[in-house]
Amino acid sequence: MLTITFANQKGGTTKTTTCVNLATALAMRGLKVLVIDMDSQATTSMILGPVSDEDTNTVYSVLINEIPLKNVIRKTRFENLFIAPSNILLASAEIELVPKVGREFMLKLSMSDLDNQFDFVLIDTAPSLGLLTINSLTASDYIIIPISCDILSFVGVKQLINTVNIVRKKLNPSLEILGVLLTRYDLRVRLSKEVERKTKEIFGDLLFPHYISENVKLREAPLQGKVIYEYAPNSRGARNYLEFANDFLKRVKKLTKNTKSN
């Protein structure tokens, strides 16, 4: 079982889109996947859920009432794909965690009896480097950083790398960056080239080989509560995320061959 956090403290860098569509792509290939929603905006839970605002059997209770994660895991409409959902109640967890002993380890501890039930655990995070994201990174083997080419989403990325280094030093020595994914790439837009150049400069080989294009279907799918393979299976966006799933699996395979267990 490998745990991977999607993080970028800048808002709207396609963390959720990437997490949800990668998770579904992996599940469609027969891999057993759990998605944990660590964002109180709860877009992931709306897409894979639904979950009501009053529901208390969520990640909030895991972190604050210290119930095992497995107690809140639910099936989704996709075979092999499961979710530990959140809703707006998670917003107060950031503050309620502060006085807790071992506050950075709450998610990791809650996962201790998952054993190897899943091939992959994918964690979607909020645009913040607060305690919820720190909990996600502490519980993870890898981080994936999505960078959206329509905004200057590499700004602040140094701070993110810094946070990864601090987590590695103090909380989780085995955390590594799995890769950086460029999304919303539009050849016709100069900003895309600029973001690509800067991102290559900062991350080099960590960049995944295929990019996700700017694609209207990817923008529309969450508004219908759908993943791209339901909403527009023949779209460029769908093809792009299937390609990314291949890149992801190749990279994981290469990295885990000698080091981490799978």
Ligand X SMILES: Nc1ncnc2c1ncn2[C@@H]1O[C@H](COP(=O)(O)OP(=O)(O)OP(=O)(O)O)[C@@H](O)[C@H]1O
Where do contacts with ligand X occur on this chain (CB under 6 A)? 11-17, 39, 41, 43, 126-127, 183-184, 212, 214-215, 218-219, 222, 237
Min dist. Cβ of residue 11 to ligand X (A): 4
Min dist. Cβ of residue 214 to ligand X (A): 5
The piece of 11-19, 20-28, 45-53, 237-245 that touches Mg ion (CB under 5 A) is 11-19
The piece of 16-24, 105-113, 157-165, 171-179 that touches Mg ion (CB under 5 A) is 16-24
The reply to whether 13 sits near Mg ion by the rule CB under 5 A is no
Q: Which of 141, 154, 130, 207 is CA-nearest to residue 5?
A: 141
The reply to whether 15 sits near Mg ion by the rule CB under 5 A is yes
Dihedral sign (CA 197, 228, 255, 136): positive
Q: Which is nearer to Mg ion, 15 or 184 (CB)?
A: 15
For residue 61, what are its two tokens?
Answer: 């209770």
Pairing of strands 2-6, 74-75: unpaired
Residue 3, strand partner residues: 121
Cα 243 from chain centroid (whole Å): 17
The reply to whether 10 sits near Mg ion by the rule CB under 5 A is no
Min dist. Cβ of residue 39 to Mg ion (A): 5
167 φ, ψ (degrees, to nearest 5): -60, -40
Min dist. Cβ of residue 127 to Mg ion (A): 7
- The item of Mg ion, ligand X, none sharing an interface with residue 133, based on CB under 5 to 8 Å by kind, is none
- The answer for residues whose C-beta is within 8 angstroms of residue 250's C-beta and 6 or more apart is none
Q: Give Dmax (Cα) for the chain.
A: 51
Task: Give the residues lining the site for Mg ion (CB under 5 A).
Answer: 15-16
